[in-house]
Structure 1
Amino acid sequence: MEERYPDAYLHYLMEYHATRDFFECHELLEEYWKEHPGDSRAEIWVGLIQLAVGHYHLRRGNYNGARKIYANSLQRLNLQALEELGIDGSKLLHALEHRQEKLLAGELVGYEEMDFDLIDPQLASEMQSRCQTAGLQWGIIEGIEAAVIHRHKLRDRSEVIAARAAAAELKKKSRPGAV
């Protein structure tokens, strides 16, 4: 299976459809994308990352953020690339375009799940098997915890904050006349 699809993508699919942890979806594919800068599928990875981030924003009530990130996702996702990844691209693109239209018109209130159908039977079988092994069910969600919905607020950012402070200090010292 991994010859056709990277493990990060398979893990993304499981998180997307079995836990709805869109923050984790973003993390998984972003890490893979950054580790493979010459990957011919870079645009589709970014589009799928943005799709998950759009859902994350929408579920938290950030309609402006969702609208912006969905627009970016729609620019990157395309029928052929989605189908090469075993996804019914036509159905996914239609659903995402419809959601974006409702957001733009101010008609979307609240969050609704948006699955995508797998057209590769081997991929679908693999995902069912992975979910079963992990004790999850594909496409069936029973109450999503606040920790998943607001995950970005709960992560440890001390390293990022320290790195930013160090960079700011270096910048400050490099200014003309700095002591």
Structure 2
Amino acid sequence: MTMNQEENHQYLTFKLDDEVFALGIDKVREVLDYTSVTKVPQTPDFMRGVINLRGSVVPVVDMRLKFGMAKTEKTVNTCIIIVEINLEGETTVLGALADSVQEVLDLEPHQIEPAPKIGTKLRTEFIRGMGKRDEQFIIILDIDKVFSSEELATVQMTSSNAH
């Protein structure tokens, strides 16, 4: 499979705690205001539950918990980013809980550096690189790699059980 040369350079940035993260805009379906999430028993901590998105059950993941931060507290800015994840050829839709969405920005490949191997609490395999904007680092996520297939299997079971 060859990578499309016209690769998307637009990213949606969002905050978790004091860190700014970014997702390729091609992965983002929409951004919702925080709505109540139905808790599902026996799911991992970072799975906050499910929401009903126009008749589909969409699992919601707390990105802060996933990255070892404190649980997301609901504020006026808390939102759910609906993303499409590609895993082993399957597309899974899930909601990523974020403290706030910042903006859509353009980052050219030369503005993105590889992820540092040390000094970050995050596992680096799901970081596509570090963007820089006005002296602030932006951690660019490879959302397809943030969740392992086992974790997403739980998520998929959650959504199928909820029907």
Same fold at TM > 0.5? no
TM-score by length of structure 1 reads 0.26
Determine which structure has the larger strand proportion and give its number.
Answer: 2
More helix by share: 1
Task: Report which of the two structures shows the higher radius of gyration computed on alpha carbons.
Answer: 1
**Could you tell me the TM-score, scaled by structure 2's length?**
0.27
